DNA sequence: TATAAAAGATGACGCAAGGTCACTTTCAAG
DNA sequence: CTTGAAAGTGACCTTGCGTCATCTTTTATA
Protein backbone atom coordinates (compact mmCIF):
# COMPACT_ATOMS: atom_id res chain seq x y z
CA UNK A 1 0.00 0.00 0.00
CA UNK A 2 1.41 3.34 -1.06
CA UNK A 3 0.37 6.88 -0.33
CA UNK A 4 0.00 9.10 -3.30
CA UNK A 5 3.49 10.64 -3.22
CA UNK A 6 5.15 7.26 -2.88
CA UNK A 7 3.11 6.13 -5.83
CA UNK A 8 4.32 9.16 -7.72
CA UNK A 9 7.94 8.35 -6.93
CA UNK A 10 7.48 4.74 -7.96
CA UNK A 11 5.92 5.64 -11.26
CA UNK A 12 7.22 9.07 -12.14
CA UNK A 13 3.71 10.28 -12.83
CA UNK A 14 2.32 13.43 -11.23
CA UNK A 15 -0.12 13.49 -8.34
CA UNK A 16 -2.48 15.62 -10.33
CA UNK A 17 -2.61 12.86 -12.92
CA UNK A 18 -3.65 10.29 -10.33
CA UNK A 19 -6.48 12.46 -9.14
CA UNK A 20 -7.53 13.05 -12.72
CA UNK A 21 -7.43 9.36 -13.57
CA UNK A 22 -9.44 8.66 -10.46
CA UNK A 23 -12.01 11.25 -11.45
CA UNK A 24 -12.49 9.92 -14.98
CA UNK A 25 -12.56 6.36 -13.67
CA UNK A 26 -9.46 5.24 -15.50
CA UNK A 27 -7.41 4.24 -12.46
CA UNK A 28 -9.02 4.19 -9.06
CA UNK A 29 -7.07 3.73 -5.80
CA UNK A 30 -7.46 0.33 -4.21
CA UNK A 31 -8.86 2.00 -1.09
CA UNK A 32 -8.93 5.18 0.89
CA UNK A 33 -8.08 6.12 4.46
CA UNK A 34 -10.81 7.27 6.81
CA UNK A 35 -9.92 10.83 5.97
CA UNK A 36 -10.17 10.17 2.26
CA UNK A 37 -6.49 9.89 1.30
CA UNK A 38 -5.88 7.64 -1.69
CA UNK A 39 -4.04 4.33 -1.29
CA UNK A 40 -2.50 2.35 -4.15
CA UNK A 41 -1.04 -1.15 -4.48
CA UNK A 42 1.16 -3.00 -6.92
CA UNK A 43 -1.87 -3.89 -9.01
CA UNK A 44 -2.52 -0.22 -9.68
CA UNK A 45 1.16 0.30 -10.48
CA UNK A 46 1.05 -2.33 -13.18
CA UNK A 47 -2.15 -0.95 -14.61
CA UNK A 48 -0.65 2.52 -14.60
CA UNK A 49 2.30 1.28 -16.61
CA UNK A 50 -0.03 -0.27 -19.13
CA UNK A 51 -1.84 3.04 -19.38
CA UNK A 52 1.42 4.91 -19.88
CA UNK A 53 2.49 2.56 -22.61
CA UNK A 54 -0.80 2.79 -24.48
CA UNK A 55 -0.59 6.55 -24.13
CA UNK A 56 2.88 6.74 -25.66
CA UNK A 57 1.73 4.80 -28.68
CA UNK A 58 -0.94 7.40 -29.19
CA UNK A 59 -4.20 6.17 -27.71
CA UNK A 60 -6.53 8.56 -25.93
CA UNK A 61 -7.45 8.02 -22.30
CA UNK A 62 -11.07 7.34 -23.18
CA UNK A 63 -9.98 4.59 -25.57
CA UNK A 64 -7.55 3.14 -23.04
CA UNK A 65 -10.29 3.04 -20.46
CA UNK A 66 -12.52 0.96 -22.69
CA UNK A 67 -9.62 -1.27 -23.71
CA UNK A 68 -8.65 -2.13 -20.18
CA UNK A 69 -12.22 -2.47 -18.96
CA UNK A 70 -13.48 -5.02 -21.45
CA UNK A 71 -11.99 -8.44 -21.00
CA UNK A 72 -12.31 -9.49 -24.63
CA UNK A 73 -11.01 -6.48 -26.46
CA UNK A 74 -10.18 -6.71 -30.17
CA UNK A 75 -6.58 -5.66 -29.75
CA UNK A 76 -5.36 -6.34 -33.23
CA UNK A 77 -8.10 -4.20 -34.68
CA UNK A 78 -7.34 -1.14 -32.58
CA UNK A 79 -3.60 -1.62 -32.98
CA UNK A 80 -4.03 -1.71 -36.74
CA UNK A 81 -6.17 1.40 -36.65
CA UNK A 82 -3.59 3.14 -34.54
CA UNK A 83 -0.86 2.01 -36.90
CA UNK A 84 -2.63 3.42 -39.90
CA UNK A 85 -3.15 6.67 -38.04
CA UNK A 86 0.55 6.84 -37.20
CA UNK A 87 1.51 6.12 -40.79
CA UNK A 88 -0.77 8.86 -42.04
CA UNK A 89 0.66 11.28 -39.57
CA UNK A 90 4.17 10.41 -40.64
CA UNK A 91 3.25 11.01 -44.25
CA UNK A 92 1.69 14.34 -43.40
CA UNK A 93 4.82 15.36 -41.53
CA UNK A 94 6.97 14.27 -44.44
CA UNK A 95 5.09 16.61 -46.72
CA UNK A 96 5.48 19.41 -44.23
CA UNK A 97 9.17 18.63 -44.00
CA UNK A 98 9.54 18.93 -47.75
CA UNK A 99 7.70 22.26 -47.79
CA UNK A 100 9.85 23.56 -45.00
CA UNK A 101 13.06 22.54 -46.73
CA UNK A 102 11.94 24.16 -49.95
CA UNK A 103 11.10 27.36 -48.13
CA UNK A 104 14.39 27.38 -46.27
CA UNK A 105 16.30 26.80 -49.49
CA UNK A 106 14.31 29.48 -51.25
CA UNK A 107 15.13 31.98 -48.56
CA UNK A 108 18.76 30.97 -48.49
CA UNK A 109 19.01 31.44 -52.22
CA UNK A 110 17.09 34.67 -52.28
CA UNK A 111 18.66 36.16 -49.25
CA UNK A 112 15.74 38.53 -49.21
CA UNK A 113 13.48 37.47 -46.44
CA UNK A 114 10.54 39.64 -47.28
CA UNK A 115 9.90 37.43 -50.26
CA UNK A 116 8.51 34.78 -47.97
CA UNK A 117 4.97 35.98 -48.47
CA UNK A 118 5.21 35.63 -52.20
CA UNK A 119 6.56 32.11 -51.80
CA UNK A 120 3.68 31.28 -49.52
CA UNK A 121 1.26 32.52 -52.13
CA UNK A 122 2.86 30.16 -54.61
CA UNK A 123 2.15 27.25 -52.29
CA UNK A 124 -1.47 28.17 -52.00
CA UNK A 125 -1.98 28.46 -55.73
CA UNK A 126 -0.11 25.24 -56.39
CA UNK A 127 -2.21 23.27 -53.99
CA UNK A 128 -5.48 24.44 -55.49
CA UNK A 129 -4.30 23.48 -58.97
CA UNK A 130 -3.13 20.09 -57.79
CA UNK A 131 -6.55 19.40 -56.40
CA UNK A 132 -8.04 19.99 -59.83
CA UNK A 133 -5.54 17.73 -61.53
CA UNK A 134 -6.03 14.93 -59.06
CA UNK A 135 -9.75 14.98 -59.54
CA UNK A 136 -9.41 14.15 -63.20
CA UNK A 137 -10.56 10.61 -63.72
CA UNK A 138 -8.42 8.15 -65.55
CA UNK A 139 -9.32 6.03 -68.51
CA UNK A 140 -11.50 2.97 -68.14
CA UNK A 141 -11.07 0.56 -71.01
CA UNK A 142 -11.79 -3.11 -71.12
CA UNK A 143 -10.06 -5.96 -72.76
CA UNK A 144 -12.06 -9.14 -72.61
CA UNK A 145 -9.20 -11.12 -74.05
CA UNK A 146 -7.08 -10.31 -71.08
CA UNK A 147 -9.93 -10.90 -68.70
CA UNK A 148 -10.06 -14.53 -69.65
CA UNK A 149 -6.63 -15.06 -68.27
CA UNK A 150 -7.31 -13.54 -64.92
CA UNK A 151 -7.55 -16.16 -62.17
CA UNK A 152 -11.10 -17.26 -61.61
CA UNK A 153 -12.75 -17.35 -58.26
CA UNK A 154 -13.19 -20.66 -56.54
CA UNK A 155 -10.56 -22.35 -58.62
CA UNK A 156 -8.58 -24.98 -56.81
CA UNK A 157 -5.63 -24.71 -59.17
CA UNK A 158 -2.60 -23.81 -57.03
CA UNK A 159 -1.51 -21.17 -59.53
CA UNK A 160 -4.79 -19.30 -59.38
CA UNK A 161 -4.79 -19.84 -55.66
CA UNK A 162 -1.49 -18.10 -55.28
CA UNK A 163 -2.66 -15.11 -57.29
CA UNK A 164 -5.62 -14.78 -55.00
CA UNK A 165 -3.40 -15.20 -51.98
CA UNK A 166 -0.95 -12.61 -53.23
CA UNK A 167 -3.64 -10.03 -53.82
CA UNK A 168 -5.07 -10.87 -50.43
CA UNK A 169 -1.72 -10.30 -48.80
CA UNK A 170 -1.37 -7.02 -50.64
CA UNK A 171 -4.61 -5.88 -49.07
CA UNK A 172 -3.65 -7.25 -45.69
CA UNK A 173 -0.33 -5.43 -45.55
CA UNK A 174 -1.32 -2.36 -47.52
CA UNK A 175 -1.04 -0.21 -44.43
CA UNK A 176 2.74 -0.77 -44.41
CA UNK A 177 3.01 1.47 -47.47
CA UNK A 178 4.08 0.58 -50.97
CA UNK A 179 7.81 0.73 -50.31
CA UNK A 180 7.70 -1.75 -47.43
CA UNK A 181 9.89 -4.79 -47.90
CA UNK A 182 7.11 -7.24 -47.40
CA UNK A 183 4.99 -5.50 -49.99
CA UNK A 184 7.89 -5.30 -52.38
CA UNK A 185 8.50 -9.04 -51.94
CA UNK A 186 4.91 -9.72 -52.85
CA UNK A 187 5.22 -7.50 -55.92
CA UNK A 188 8.40 -9.28 -56.91
CA UNK A 189 6.73 -12.64 -56.60
CA UNK A 190 3.87 -11.35 -58.73
CA UNK A 191 6.33 -10.16 -61.32
CA UNK A 192 8.12 -13.51 -61.44
CA UNK A 193 4.85 -15.39 -61.53
CA UNK A 194 3.52 -13.12 -64.23
CA UNK A 195 6.30 -14.07 -66.60
CA UNK A 196 5.89 -17.75 -65.68
CA UNK A 197 2.14 -17.93 -66.04
CA UNK A 198 1.68 -15.57 -68.92
CA UNK A 199 5.02 -16.02 -70.57
CA UNK A 200 5.34 -12.30 -71.18
CA UNK A 201 3.20 -12.74 -74.26
CA UNK A 202 0.92 -10.18 -72.79
CA UNK A 203 2.03 -7.69 -70.26
CA UNK A 204 -0.57 -9.17 -68.03
CA UNK A 205 -0.27 -7.06 -64.94
CA UNK A 206 0.00 -3.91 -66.99
CA UNK A 207 -3.31 -4.67 -68.60
CA UNK A 208 -4.79 -5.61 -65.28
CA UNK A 209 -3.80 -2.28 -63.87
CA UNK A 210 -5.24 -0.47 -66.82
CA UNK A 211 -8.54 -2.18 -66.48
CA UNK A 212 -9.35 -0.84 -63.01
CA UNK A 213 -12.53 -2.77 -62.93
CA UNK A 214 -15.20 -2.29 -60.35
CA UNK A 215 -16.21 -5.10 -58.00
CA UNK A 216 -19.45 -5.39 -59.98
CA UNK A 217 -17.67 -5.88 -63.27
CA UNK A 218 -15.28 -8.42 -61.86
CA UNK A 219 -18.19 -10.40 -60.45
CA UNK A 220 -19.78 -10.38 -63.86
CA UNK A 221 -16.71 -12.09 -65.21
CA UNK A 222 -16.54 -14.41 -62.21
CA UNK A 223 -13.18 -13.00 -61.28
CA UNK A 224 -11.53 -12.61 -57.99
CA UNK A 225 -12.64 -9.14 -57.05
CA UNK A 226 -9.92 -6.55 -56.69
CA UNK A 227 -11.08 -3.22 -55.43
CA UNK A 228 -9.97 0.11 -56.77
CA UNK A 229 -7.88 0.98 -53.73
CA UNK A 230 -5.91 -2.23 -53.99
CA UNK A 231 -5.36 -1.70 -57.69
CA UNK A 232 -4.09 1.81 -57.11
CA UNK A 233 -1.85 0.61 -54.35
CA UNK A 234 -0.56 -2.23 -56.51
CA UNK A 235 0.30 0.25 -59.23
CA UNK A 236 2.25 2.47 -56.88
CA UNK A 237 4.10 -0.49 -55.41
CA UNK A 238 4.90 -1.83 -58.87
CA UNK A 239 6.24 1.50 -60.09
CA UNK A 240 8.40 1.67 -57.02
CA UNK A 241 9.53 -1.89 -57.63
CA UNK A 242 10.52 -1.14 -61.23
CA UNK A 243 12.39 1.94 -60.08
CA UNK A 244 14.41 0.02 -57.52
CA UNK A 245 15.16 -3.04 -59.59
CA UNK A 246 18.29 -3.59 -61.65
CA UNK B 1 -15.76 44.02 -49.78
CA UNK B 2 -17.21 40.69 -48.66
CA UNK B 3 -19.62 39.81 -45.95
CA UNK B 4 -18.58 37.03 -43.67
CA UNK B 5 -20.35 34.19 -45.50
CA UNK B 6 -18.97 35.27 -48.86
CA UNK B 7 -15.56 35.33 -47.25
CA UNK B 8 -16.18 31.84 -45.99
CA UNK B 9 -17.10 30.61 -49.44
CA UNK B 10 -14.04 32.24 -50.96
CA UNK B 11 -11.68 30.70 -48.44
CA UNK B 12 -13.34 27.53 -47.23
CA UNK B 13 -12.77 28.51 -43.63
CA UNK B 14 -15.56 28.52 -41.07
CA UNK B 15 -17.30 31.64 -39.81
CA UNK B 16 -16.50 30.71 -36.25
CA UNK B 17 -12.84 30.78 -37.16
CA UNK B 18 -13.09 34.34 -38.48
CA UNK B 19 -14.71 35.52 -35.30
CA UNK B 20 -12.05 33.69 -33.30
CA UNK B 21 -9.21 35.17 -35.36
CA UNK B 22 -10.76 38.57 -34.91
CA UNK B 23 -10.99 38.09 -31.18
CA UNK B 24 -7.37 37.01 -30.78
CA UNK B 25 -6.28 39.78 -33.13
CA UNK B 26 -4.85 37.49 -35.76
CA UNK B 27 -7.04 38.62 -38.64
CA UNK B 28 -9.28 41.63 -38.20
CA UNK B 29 -11.93 42.66 -40.74
CA UNK B 30 -11.01 45.70 -42.77
CA UNK B 31 -14.08 47.47 -41.42
CA UNK B 32 -17.48 46.92 -39.94
CA UNK B 33 -20.97 48.07 -40.83
CA UNK B 34 -22.79 50.43 -38.51
CA UNK B 35 -24.51 47.48 -36.97
CA UNK B 36 -21.23 45.68 -36.35
CA UNK B 37 -21.15 43.15 -39.21
CA UNK B 38 -17.64 42.26 -40.32
CA UNK B 39 -16.42 43.23 -43.78
CA UNK B 40 -13.38 41.71 -45.47
CA UNK B 41 -11.39 42.58 -48.61
CA UNK B 42 -8.88 40.84 -50.86
CA UNK B 43 -6.08 41.88 -48.54
CA UNK B 44 -7.59 39.84 -45.74
CA UNK B 45 -8.12 36.93 -48.10
CA UNK B 46 -4.44 36.84 -48.96
CA UNK B 47 -3.46 37.13 -45.33
CA UNK B 48 -5.84 34.33 -44.46
CA UNK B 49 -4.19 32.08 -47.01
CA UNK B 50 -0.83 32.84 -45.52
CA UNK B 51 -2.19 31.95 -42.11
CA UNK B 52 -3.62 28.71 -43.44
CA UNK B 53 -0.32 27.77 -45.01
CA UNK B 54 1.68 28.51 -41.88
CA UNK B 55 -0.86 26.49 -39.94
CA UNK B 56 -0.50 23.45 -42.18
CA UNK B 57 3.23 23.46 -41.71
CA UNK B 58 2.64 23.29 -38.02
CA UNK B 59 2.92 26.77 -36.54
CA UNK B 60 0.62 27.84 -33.75
CA UNK B 61 -1.69 30.79 -34.16
CA UNK B 62 0.16 32.80 -31.55
CA UNK B 63 3.42 32.31 -33.46
CA UNK B 64 1.77 33.15 -36.76
CA UNK B 65 0.40 36.33 -35.29
CA UNK B 66 3.84 37.54 -34.27
CA UNK B 67 5.32 36.46 -37.59
CA UNK B 68 2.85 38.41 -39.64
CA UNK B 69 2.85 41.43 -37.37
CA UNK B 70 6.52 42.20 -37.30
CA UNK B 71 7.86 43.53 -40.54
CA UNK B 72 11.39 42.19 -40.11
CA UNK B 73 10.77 38.67 -38.96
CA UNK B 74 13.62 36.17 -38.86
CA UNK B 75 11.93 33.65 -41.12
CA UNK B 76 14.80 31.28 -41.61
CA UNK B 77 15.22 30.91 -37.89
CA UNK B 78 11.62 29.96 -37.19
CA UNK B 79 11.46 27.75 -40.26
CA UNK B 80 14.52 25.91 -39.03
CA UNK B 81 13.02 25.53 -35.60
CA UNK B 82 9.84 24.21 -37.14
CA UNK B 83 11.83 21.82 -39.28
CA UNK B 84 13.63 20.37 -36.31
CA UNK B 85 10.33 20.00 -34.51
CA UNK B 86 8.87 18.14 -37.48
CA UNK B 87 11.88 15.87 -37.71
CA UNK B 88 11.64 15.03 -34.02
CA UNK B 89 7.96 14.30 -34.36
CA UNK B 90 8.63 12.01 -37.28
CA UNK B 91 11.20 10.15 -35.26
CA UNK B 92 8.84 9.78 -32.35
CA UNK B 93 6.17 8.41 -34.66
CA UNK B 94 8.66 6.01 -36.19
CA UNK B 95 9.38 4.54 -32.79
CA UNK B 96 5.69 4.24 -32.10
CA UNK B 97 5.26 2.57 -35.47
CA UNK B 98 7.89 0.00 -34.61
CA UNK B 99 6.27 -0.76 -31.28
CA UNK B 100 2.90 -1.13 -32.93
CA UNK B 101 4.26 -3.48 -35.56
CA UNK B 102 5.96 -5.60 -32.95
CA UNK B 103 2.76 -5.81 -30.97
CA UNK B 104 0.71 -6.67 -34.03
CA UNK B 105 3.18 -9.33 -35.07
CA UNK B 106 3.25 -10.69 -31.55
CA UNK B 107 -0.49 -11.03 -31.56
CA UNK B 108 -0.57 -12.48 -35.03
CA UNK B 109 1.95 -15.10 -34.06
CA UNK B 110 0.43 -15.85 -30.72
CA UNK B 111 -3.13 -15.79 -31.83
CA UNK B 112 -3.93 -15.38 -28.18
CA UNK B 113 -5.05 -11.87 -27.67
CA UNK B 114 -5.09 -11.86 -23.95
CA UNK B 115 -1.32 -11.97 -23.98
CA UNK B 116 -1.29 -8.31 -24.91
CA UNK B 117 -0.98 -7.24 -21.30
CA UNK B 118 2.11 -9.35 -20.78
CA UNK B 119 3.64 -7.87 -23.89
CA UNK B 120 2.88 -4.40 -22.65
CA UNK B 121 4.58 -5.21 -19.38
CA UNK B 122 7.66 -6.21 -21.31
CA UNK B 123 7.85 -2.77 -22.80
CA UNK B 124 7.64 -1.10 -19.44
CA UNK B 125 9.97 -2.99 -17.19
CA UNK B 126 12.33 -4.80 -19.42
CA UNK B 127 14.51 -5.89 -16.54
CA UNK B 128 11.81 -7.43 -14.38
CA UNK B 129 10.91 -11.00 -13.77
CA UNK B 130 8.27 -10.97 -16.45
CA UNK B 131 11.00 -10.97 -19.06
CA UNK B 132 12.65 -13.94 -17.46
CA UNK B 133 9.42 -15.86 -17.36
CA UNK B 134 8.74 -15.07 -20.94
CA UNK B 135 12.20 -16.05 -22.07
CA UNK B 136 11.79 -19.31 -20.29
CA UNK B 137 8.59 -19.87 -22.18
CA UNK B 138 10.44 -19.31 -25.39
CA UNK B 139 13.23 -21.69 -24.40
CA UNK B 140 10.66 -24.36 -23.75
CA UNK B 141 9.48 -24.39 -27.32
CA UNK B 142 8.57 -27.83 -28.43
CA UNK B 143 7.48 -29.28 -31.66
CA UNK B 144 3.85 -28.90 -30.74
CA UNK B 145 4.29 -25.17 -30.44
CA UNK B 146 5.87 -25.05 -33.84
CA UNK B 147 2.91 -26.95 -35.15
CA UNK B 148 0.63 -24.18 -34.01
CA UNK B 149 2.29 -21.86 -36.46
CA UNK B 150 1.78 -24.06 -39.45
CA UNK B 151 -0.97 -22.80 -41.72
CA UNK B 152 -4.27 -24.39 -40.94
CA UNK B 153 -6.54 -25.92 -43.52
CA UNK B 154 -9.53 -23.94 -44.62
CA UNK B 155 -8.07 -20.73 -43.37
CA UNK B 156 -8.98 -17.72 -45.43
CA UNK B 157 -5.94 -15.80 -44.29
CA UNK B 158 -4.02 -14.85 -47.44
CA UNK B 159 -0.72 -15.80 -45.82
CA UNK B 160 -1.87 -19.32 -45.04
CA UNK B 161 -3.47 -19.45 -48.44
CA UNK B 162 -0.21 -18.72 -50.17
CA UNK B 163 1.60 -21.43 -48.25
CA UNK B 164 -0.99 -23.90 -49.39
CA UNK B 165 -0.79 -22.60 -52.93
CA UNK B 166 2.98 -22.81 -52.97
CA UNK B 167 3.01 -26.40 -51.77
CA UNK B 168 0.32 -27.14 -54.32
CA UNK B 169 2.43 -25.70 -57.12
CA UNK B 170 5.40 -27.67 -55.91
CA UNK B 171 3.40 -30.83 -56.39
CA UNK B 172 2.02 -29.67 -59.70
CA UNK B 173 5.41 -28.92 -61.22
CA UNK B 174 7.37 -31.58 -59.39
CA UNK B 175 7.90 -33.47 -62.63
CA UNK B 176 10.12 -30.64 -63.91
CA UNK B 177 12.76 -31.69 -61.38
CA UNK B 178 14.14 -29.82 -58.40
CA UNK B 179 16.55 -27.64 -60.37
CA UNK B 180 13.88 -26.26 -62.70
CA UNK B 181 13.59 -22.49 -62.67
CA UNK B 182 9.93 -22.51 -61.87
CA UNK B 183 10.49 -24.81 -58.91
CA UNK B 184 13.42 -22.73 -57.74
CA UNK B 185 11.29 -19.61 -57.92
CA UNK B 186 8.72 -21.26 -55.72
CA UNK B 187 11.39 -22.29 -53.24
CA UNK B 188 12.78 -18.77 -53.23
CA UNK B 189 9.36 -17.35 -52.53
CA UNK B 190 8.96 -19.84 -49.70
CA UNK B 191 12.28 -18.77 -48.28
CA UNK B 192 11.38 -15.08 -48.39
CA UNK B 193 7.99 -15.77 -46.93
CA UNK B 194 9.44 -17.92 -44.21
CA UNK B 195 11.55 -15.07 -42.87
CA UNK B 196 8.62 -12.69 -43.18
CA UNK B 197 6.06 -14.85 -41.48
CA UNK B 198 8.26 -16.45 -38.88
CA UNK B 199 10.77 -13.70 -38.47
CA UNK B 200 13.66 -16.14 -38.55
CA UNK B 201 13.25 -16.63 -34.83
CA UNK B 202 12.77 -20.27 -35.50
CA UNK B 203 13.96 -21.95 -38.62
CA UNK B 204 10.41 -22.80 -39.42
CA UNK B 205 10.82 -24.78 -42.56
CA UNK B 206 13.71 -26.68 -41.08
CA UNK B 207 11.49 -27.85 -38.28
CA UNK B 208 8.77 -28.61 -40.73
CA UNK B 209 11.09 -30.79 -42.68
CA UNK B 210 12.30 -32.48 -39.55
CA UNK B 211 8.82 -33.41 -38.60
CA UNK B 212 8.09 -35.32 -41.78
CA UNK B 213 4.75 -36.24 -40.52
CA UNK B 214 2.38 -38.61 -42.13
CA UNK B 215 -0.92 -37.46 -43.66
CA UNK B 216 -2.64 -38.99 -40.64
CA UNK B 217 -0.63 -36.97 -38.20
CA UNK B 218 -1.16 -33.77 -40.11
CA UNK B 219 -4.89 -34.33 -40.14
CA UNK B 220 -4.79 -34.82 -36.42
CA UNK B 221 -3.37 -31.33 -36.14
CA UNK B 222 -5.79 -30.00 -38.73
CA UNK B 223 -2.88 -29.04 -40.94
CA UNK B 224 -2.65 -28.76 -44.63
CA UNK B 225 -1.47 -32.23 -45.52
CA UNK B 226 1.93 -32.47 -47.11
CA UNK B 227 2.86 -35.93 -48.23
CA UNK B 228 6.22 -37.52 -47.79
CA UNK B 229 7.15 -37.35 -51.44
CA UNK B 230 6.53 -33.62 -51.62
CA UNK B 231 8.50 -33.09 -48.43
CA UNK B 232 11.45 -35.01 -49.82
CA UNK B 233 11.28 -33.10 -53.07
CA UNK B 234 11.03 -29.82 -51.21
CA UNK B 235 14.12 -30.68 -49.24
CA UNK B 236 16.14 -31.49 -52.33
CA UNK B 237 15.01 -28.34 -54.07
CA UNK B 238 15.82 -26.28 -50.99
CA UNK B 239 19.32 -27.70 -50.68
CA UNK B 240 19.87 -26.94 -54.36
CA UNK B 241 18.54 -23.45 -53.79
CA UNK B 242 20.91 -22.81 -50.89
CA UNK B 243 23.82 -24.08 -52.94
CA UNK B 244 23.07 -21.77 -55.86
CA UNK B 245 22.26 -18.69 -53.91
CA UNK B 246 24.60 -15.75 -53.30
C1' DT C 1 -1.24 14.57 24.22
C1' DA C 2 -1.22 19.02 22.06
C1' DT C 3 0.37 21.35 18.28
C1' DA C 4 2.73 22.58 14.18
C1' DA C 5 4.13 21.30 9.78
C1' DA C 6 3.79 18.41 6.01
C1' DA C 7 0.87 16.00 3.03
C1' DG C 8 -3.45 15.38 0.90
C1' DA C 9 -8.17 16.75 -0.82
C1' DT C 10 -11.27 19.63 -3.50
C1' DG C 11 -12.52 23.14 -6.70
C1' DA C 12 -11.65 26.47 -10.12
C1' DC C 13 -9.27 28.48 -13.99
C1' DG C 14 -6.19 28.01 -18.00
C1' DC C 15 -3.99 26.10 -22.29
C1' DA C 16 -5.38 25.54 -28.34
C1' DA C 17 -8.36 26.08 -31.81
C1' DG C 18 -12.22 26.38 -32.53
C1' DG C 19 -17.53 23.44 -32.54
C1' DT C 20 -22.00 23.85 -31.07
C1' DC C 21 -25.82 25.58 -28.87
C1' DA C 22 -29.05 29.69 -27.41
C1' DC C 23 -30.56 34.08 -27.84
C1' DT C 24 -30.46 38.81 -29.82
C1' DT C 25 -29.70 42.26 -33.35
C1' DT C 26 -28.99 43.93 -38.04
C1' DC C 27 -29.56 43.72 -43.09
C1' DA C 28 -31.97 43.61 -47.36
C1' DA C 29 -35.98 42.72 -50.14
C1' DG C 30 -40.73 43.36 -50.97
C1' DC D 1 -42.61 48.60 -42.48
C1' DT D 2 -42.30 44.05 -41.98
C1' DT D 3 -40.16 39.75 -42.20
C1' DG D 4 -36.91 36.19 -42.83
C1' DA D 5 -32.16 35.49 -43.49
C1' DA D 6 -27.80 36.63 -41.94
C1' DA D 7 -24.85 38.18 -38.42
C1' DG D 8 -23.79 39.23 -33.74
C1' DT D 9 -22.44 37.85 -28.75
C1' DG D 10 -21.86 34.78 -24.89
C1' DA D 11 -21.39 30.45 -22.77
C1' DC D 12 -20.10 25.81 -22.38
C1' DC D 13 -17.49 21.70 -24.46
C1' DT D 14 -13.40 19.19 -26.11
C1' DT D 15 -7.81 16.78 -24.01
C1' DG D 16 -4.82 15.94 -20.34
C1' DC D 17 -3.41 17.64 -17.21
C1' DG D 18 -0.53 22.32 -14.65
C1' DT D 19 -1.21 25.63 -11.38
C1' DC D 20 -3.08 28.18 -7.76
C1' DA D 21 -6.17 28.83 -3.45
C1' DT D 22 -8.35 27.04 0.34
C1' DC D 23 -9.42 23.47 3.59
C1' DT D 24 -8.68 18.94 6.06
C1' DT D 25 -6.01 14.96 7.47
C1' DT D 26 -1.89 12.79 8.95
C1' DT D 27 2.39 12.58 11.28
C1' DA D 28 6.37 14.07 13.94
C1' DT D 29 8.01 16.41 17.71
C1' DA D 30 7.82 18.81 22.18
Nearest-angstrom CA–CA distance, B116 and B119: 5
| Closest by CA position to A43, among listed A94, A7, A9 | A7
Strand partners, B152: B223
CA distances from B46 to A206, B11, B183, B191, B219 (A): 45, 10, 64, 58, 72
Minimal Cβ distance to B162: which of A57, A100, A166: A166
Contact yes or no for B22/B38 (Cβ under 8 A)? yes
| Closest by CA position to B237, among listed B184, B190, B182, B195 | B184
What residues does each domain of chain B span?
Answer: 4-69, 75-139, 143-243
CA distances from A111 to A12, A101, A105, A194, A226 (A): 47, 15, 10, 54, 52
Mean pLDDT, rounded, for B61-84? 85
Say if A57 is an interface residue toward chain B (CB within 8 Å). Answer: yes
Question: Which nucleotide's C1' sits nearest to the alpha carbon of A13?
Answer: D17
B93 and A97 within 8 Å at the Cβ level: the answer is no
CATH code reported for the domain at B4-69: 1.10.1660.10
Say if A48 is an interface residue toward chain B (CB within 8 Å). Answer: no
Q: Which long-range contacts (CB under 8 A, 24 or more apart) does A120-124 make?
A: A120/B49, A120/B50, A120/B53, A120/B54, A121/B46, A121/B49, A121/B50, A123/A99, A123/B53, A124/B49, A124/B50, A124/B52, A124/B53
Nearest-angstrom CA–CA distance, B218 and A131: 56
What is the SS3 assignment for B82? helix
| Closest by CA position to A193, among listed A151, A145, A246, A240 | A151
CA of A1 to C1' of C6 (A): 20
Instruction: Please check whether strand D approaches the CB of B86 to within 7 Å.
Output: no
Question: Best mutation site among A43, A96, A234 for testing chain B: the one with the most B CBs within 10 Å?
Answer: A96
Cβ–Cβ contacts within 10 Å for residue B108, how many? 12
Say if A81 is an interface residue toward chain B (CB within 8 Å). Answer: no
H helix or E strand, kind and range, residue A39: strand A38-39
Say if B89 is an interface residue toward chain A (CB within 8 Å). Answer: yes
Average predicted confidence (pLDDT) for chain A: 73
What is the SS3 assignment for B223? strand
pLDDT in tens, B184-232: 998 888 888 777 766 654 555 555 554 444 455 444 444 445 666 777 7
Nearest-angstrom CA–CA distance, B167 and B187: 9
Chain A to chain B Cβ contacts (< 8 Å): 152
pLDDT in tens, A114-124: 566 666 665 65
Instruction: Please check whether strand C approaches the CB of A105 to within 7 Å.
Output: no
Chain A residue whose CA is closest to B169: A158
Task: State the smallest CA–CA distance between residue B139 and chain A in angstroms.
Answer: 25
In percent, the amount of chain B with pLDDT more than 70 equals 63
Chain B residue whose CA is closest to A54: B120
CA of A88 to C1' of C11 (A): 40
B107 contacts in chain A (CB < 8 Å): 75-76, 79
Does A54 score more than 70 pLDDT? yes
> Higher confidence at residue B152 or residue B123?
B123
Instruction: Please check whether strand C approaches the CB of A172 to within 7 Å.
Output: no
Instruction: Please check whether strand C approaches the CB of B160 to within 7 Å.
Output: no
Nearest-angstrom CA–CA distance, A210 and A140: 7
| ipTM for the whole complex | 0.58
| Closest by CA position to B200, among listed B191, B209, B208 | B191
Question: Which nucleotide's C1' sits nearest to the alpha carbon of B5?
Answer: D6
Mean pLDDT, rounded, for A12-22? 96
Instruction: Please check whether strand D approaches the CB of A82 to within 7 Å.
Output: no
Average predicted confidence (pLDDT) for chain B: 73
A113 and B76 within 8 Å at the Cβ level: the answer is yes
Q: What is the pLDDT of residue A137?
A: 26
Minimal Cβ distance to A76: which of B82, B97, B113: B113
pLDDT in tens, A130-160: 433 332 222 222 333 333 444 544 445 667 6
Minimal Cβ distance to B123: which of A53, A166, A168: A53
pLDDT in tens, A25-41: 999 999 999 999 999 99
Contact yes or no for B224/B153 (Cβ under 8 A)? yes
Contacts of A201 (CB under 8 A, 6+ apart): none
- B10 burial (CB, 10 Å; 0-12 / 13-18 / 19+) is middle
Amino acid sequence: MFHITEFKKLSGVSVRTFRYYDKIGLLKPVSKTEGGHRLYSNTELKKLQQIQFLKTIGFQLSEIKIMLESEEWDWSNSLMKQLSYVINEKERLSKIEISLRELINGIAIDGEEFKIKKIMDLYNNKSSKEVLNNNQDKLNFKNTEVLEKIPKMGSSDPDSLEWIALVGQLKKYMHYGYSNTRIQNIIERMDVKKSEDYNDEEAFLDKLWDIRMSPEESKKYNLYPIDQETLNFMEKAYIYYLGNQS
